[in-house]
Amino acid sequence: MSDLCAPVFAANWKMCHGPAETGAFMERFVARYPPCDDATVVVFPPAISLPAFAVAAADRPDLQFGVQDVHTEVAGAHTGAISAAMVPATGATWGLAGHSERRREFGDKDADVALKLRRLLEAGLRPVLCVGETIEEREAGQLATVIERQIHGALSSIGAAGRTRLVYAYEPVWAIGTGRTASPEDAAEGHAIVREQLAAAGAGDSARAVILYGGSVKPANIGQLLAAPGVDGVLVGGASLDPDSWAAICAAGR
């Protein structure tokens, strides 16, 4: 991942910030976060706000953005869906796949995630594969088993060249939007397992893979999380919705 500057700070706005709110957010954020060449900053706005983000970030090439989800098909009769092939026209260069909310609310299976990764790669986008366990799975001692299944399932149809383009996000489901944050030790454990499974899946040099931590990240704990072994950055939800909070998190990499 020599083309990425670590740490990587990624913001997942989920179903928040329409076009007008995106413009207002960016006006405040860029005033508080000057151009940076020693970190990678990526924002995943709602699809309807991708063009607004592109306009707001036109003078800030250091700020990248991507789509939160795409359909498994390239085109067709899929009302309300977005094809990965449509995304590059907005200027976006990234895409999420496998987020726990997509798996839980929309029923995305590992096979669906694998196909979405393929579509993102075919469109020239950089995918972020999200993996992580529920509290029930963790308490049952299934952390490694769950990550193994998710990684091997998602990479099953991705060739060697495509795998070198992927970024990974370890997101313990029990720490997403709950206020309950995994400790730095929890994060390090999860990231170590992700690297082990990447090596087992033949995903290239797993030591060089970029793995983000996600789950109730905030300015108060960003320093500890970035200091945890194997953590190359963060994927932030709620704390990225406020421009001051997001600027403070991104500044932690400086």
Which helix (DSSP H) or strand (DSSP E) does residue 150 occupy? helix 143-155
Over residues 20-41, mean pLDDT = 96
Residue 251 dihedral angles phi and psi, to the nearest 5°: -70, -15
Over residues 127-137, mean pLDDT = 94
Catalytic residue of the set 99, 101, 133, 148 = 99
Over residues 114-126, mean pLDDT = 97
**Gap between the Cα atoms of 238 and 11, Å rounded:** 9
Residue 2 pLDDT exceeds 60 = no
Q: Does the annotation mark 71 as catalytic?
A: no
Q: What pLDDT, on a 0 to 100 scale, did the predictor assign at position 204?
A: 72
Q: What pLDDT, on a 0 to 100 scale, did the predictor assign at position 63?
A: 98
Over residues 201-216, mean pLDDT = 87
Residue 14 pLDDT exceeds 80 = yes
Residue 152 pLDDT exceeds 90 = yes
Question: What DSSP line would sit under 154-180, residue for residue?
Answer: HHTT--HHHHTT-EEEE--GGGSSSS-
**Gap between the Cα atoms of 27 and 139, Å rounded:** 43
Residue 181 pLDDT exceeds 70 = no
Residue 242 pLDDT exceeds 80 = yes
Where is mean pLDDT largest: 179-188, 202-211, 235-244? 235-244
Over residues 43-48, mean pLDDT = 98
Query: Predicted confidence band at 135 (pLDDT cuts at 50, 70, 90)?
Result: confident
Tokens 């699809």 belong to which residue?
A: 47
Q: Using a cut of 0.85, tell me whether the model's pTM lies above it.
A: yes
Structure-token pair, residue 199: 């090596």
Q: Does the annotation mark 99 as catalytic?
A: yes
User: Which residue would you say has higher pLDDT here, 175 or 228?
Assistant: 228
Percent of the chain at pLDDT exceeding 70: 96
Catalytic residue of the set 101, 171, 189, 191 = 171
Per-chain mean pLDDT for the chain: 93
Domains of the chain and any CATH numbers: 8-251 (3.20.20.70)
Percent of the chain at pLDDT exceeding 90: 81
